[in-house]
Structure formats: structure tokens, C-alpha cells
Amino acid sequence: MLSNIVRSSKFSLKSVCKTATCTQQVRFQSNEVKDHMGSYDNAYDDYQIARGQSRRAFTYLTLGGARFLYATGARLAAMKFVASISASADVLALAAMEVDVTKISPGSTITVKWRGKPVFIRNRTAEEIAEAEGCDTSELRDVQTDAERLADASKPEWLVVLGVCTHLGCVPLPNQGIYKGWFCPCHGSHYDTSGRIRKGPAPLNLEVPPWSFMSDSIIKLG
């Protein structure tokens, strides 16, 4: 009788193991994965996404993001560089300047500020024009004729020069000095009515800036 009980127990145990194995096989088959004889040790390899596809997608995402950041940084750097070398709004505003000369009476001079420097605009009288034209150029330190210093030879009464002494950069006084042109009180430079240096330490004539007539009453500096 004892032997019958043992046989019955072995048969029951085998049935249970077989049933569990079959159930495990059915579970893996229903998920379309390989059967590992009931072991869960290899379940991760069965269910994970293919390694090659996952790593490739991550690499593409990383490289794409890095290239986008590099491109953005390069664009910002280029914009800052261009902005740094571009003229500011106030500089552009002073690059060209229009002046109404109708209120300048003959024999008088006005001073305007252009590009941070004083500019003398003089309405010369007929006598001053004659003196400038009759000068012996061989006596000049910086040789220039009066006509060479005019923007329009048909309007010799208008003379425009920078108000900066060519010696040390002082501002000369108009209608002063031996030649009644400009006189620099700092070191005694005398300029004639054409702005040419005639006496004193200054080596050059007063500079003539770029200017032109826009109309009979308006001149443009720059």
C-alpha cells in the first residue's frame, strides 16, 4: 500500500511539473518569443528593442542637436561681429550734413560741427577773393591755388575748411591775423582768406573737407 502511495505521489508531481512547463511554453509562444525552458534569465534579451536601432537613433539625435547648437552659435558670433564693425546711428547721421548758407552775410564766417570737428563756412567778399587769387604761389609753404580749394569755381565767394590748425590741432580765430583769414593764438599761425598757411609753425593749409552745392542756398558736407 505504501508503494502505491509513493507511485501516486510521483505521478502527481510529474503531472504538475509537466503542466507548469506547458503553461510556460504557451505563455512564451503567445508572445512570440523563444522558449528558454521556463527560465526568466533571458527575458530581457527577448523583449528589448534591437540594440542597433536604438543606438543609431540616439547617435543621430545627439549629432543633430550638436550641429544645431554649433550653427546657432556661429550665426550669433557673425551677427555680433558685423554689428561691431558697422557704423552706429549717430555716426551715420553725422556722415553727411546739410547747411543753409542764406544767413551768412558777405565777409562773415560761421562754424558748424561735422563728424566731431569744427568746420568754417565763409562768405568771402570780392576784395577777399581778389587777395586770395592774386597771391604769389611761389611764396607758399603748402602750394595750392585758390581755385583748387573751391568746390565750385563759378561761386568763388564760398570757402569751406576744417577749423583745425595743422600745427597742433587748435581752433583758429576767423577774420584775424596779418592776412585777415584765420589766426591760431596758440602758436601764432596765420592763414589767408583761402585758408592757406602764410606765417607761423603750421606746416599745411587748413584742410578742405568734401562738400558740394545742393542748391543756391544749401551746401552738403560729406
pLDDT one-digit tens code per residue, 47-65? 555 555 556 777 777 878 8
Indicate if 36 belongs to the active site: no
- Report d(CA 168, CA 6) in Å as an integer: 126
Q: pLDDT band at 95, cuts 50/70/90?
A: confident
Identify the residue with better confidence: 159 or 53: 159
For 93-221, CATH number? 2.102.10.10
Q: What are phi and psi of 149, to 5 degrees?
A: -105, 10
Contact residues for 131 (Cβ-Cβ < 8 A; gap 6+): 179, 192, 193
Q: What are phi and psi of 110, to 5 degrees?
A: -115, 155
Identify the residue with better confidence: 61 or 31: 61
pLDDT digits (tens, 9 = 90+) for 1-28: 545 444 554 445 455 444 444 444 444 4
Q: pLDDT band at 160, cuts 50/70/90?
A: very high
Calculate mean pLDDT across residues 113-133.
93
Query: Are 204 and 142 within 8 A, CB to CB?
Result: yes
- Residues facing 174 on adjacent strands: 182
